Amino acid sequence: MNEKSERKGYVFKITVIGDPAVGKTSLIKKYTQGSFQKDYIKTLGAQFSKYDEEIDGENCKLFFWDIAGQDEWSFMRGTFYKGSKAAIIVYSHTDEESFEHIPNWHEDIKKFCGDIPIVLFGNKLDLIDAADVNEKKPKKLAKKRNFLAYINTSAKTGTGVYEGFQKIIRKLHSEHKDKEW
């Protein structure tokens, strides 16, 4: 058995954060299960989903931590963030306020995790007219904050979901593939 085949693979914790009702849970479910649930169910505290994926022939165990956006859970966030290798910050195209809160979410996770790779998702693309999508502001913000990418998504239709999750997963894999485990 060579060294490569003895390697067990990678384990990555990816935290998904943003305001309440922006679609964090729905995005995770769309990526991991291919499903979409129309009715909003509030996340209490945090929940996580485990997902196995093969990247370049190597097993990656992914733990997506879905963090409640409600303020009453803010006291627990540091504990929930611990060990995160990357994050996805989600805002909704139907809620301007959720976009304005992105810097707060970014600073919050940076406080506990440092400068980890982050992808910004502009979700609920299916609920607005494509002509109304202003990509200038989110792209500018993503560049200013040194995010890995900005992706428009729809948990309902699946638009951008695979691309967005792959962006962060492949980044983690490429960063860690040459490290000893």
SS3 per residue for the chain:
CCHHHHCCCEEEEEEEEECCCCCHHHHHHHHHHCCCCCCCCCCCCEEEEEEEEEECCEEEEEEEEEECCCHHHHHHHHHHHCCCCEEEEEEECCCHHHHHCHHHHHHHHHHHHCCCCEEEEEECHHHCCHHHCCCHHHHHHHHHCCCCEEEECCCCCCCCHHHHHHHHHHHHHHHHCCCCC
Q: Which architecture does CATH list for 3-176?
A: 3-Layer(aba) Sandwich (3.40)
In angstroms, rounded to a whole number, what is the distance separating the alpha carbons of residues 46 and 58?
A: 28
Of 82, 50, 53, 64, the residue nearest 13 (C-alpha): 64
| Structure confidence at residue 1 (pLDDT) | 37
Of 29, 134, 130, 41, the residue nearest 91 (C-alpha): 134
What are the pLDDT tens digits along the chain (181 aa)? Answer: 344 444 568 999 999 999 999 999 999 999 999 888 776 666 776 888 999 999 989 999 999 999 888 888 888 898 999 999 999 999 999 999 999 999 999 999 999 999 999 999 999 999 999 888 889 999 999 999 999 999 999 999 999 999 999 999 999 999 987 765 4
Domain boundaries, the chain: 3-176
Handedness of CA 27, 33, 39, 43 (dihedral sign): negative
| Structure confidence at residue 35 (pLDDT) | 80
- 40 burial via Cβ count (<10 Å: 0-12, 13-18, 19+): exposed
Provide the whole-model pTM. Answer: 0.90
| Structure confidence at residue 66 (pLDDT) | 94
**pLDDT by residue (tens digit) across 136-162?**
999 999 999 999 999 999 999 999 999
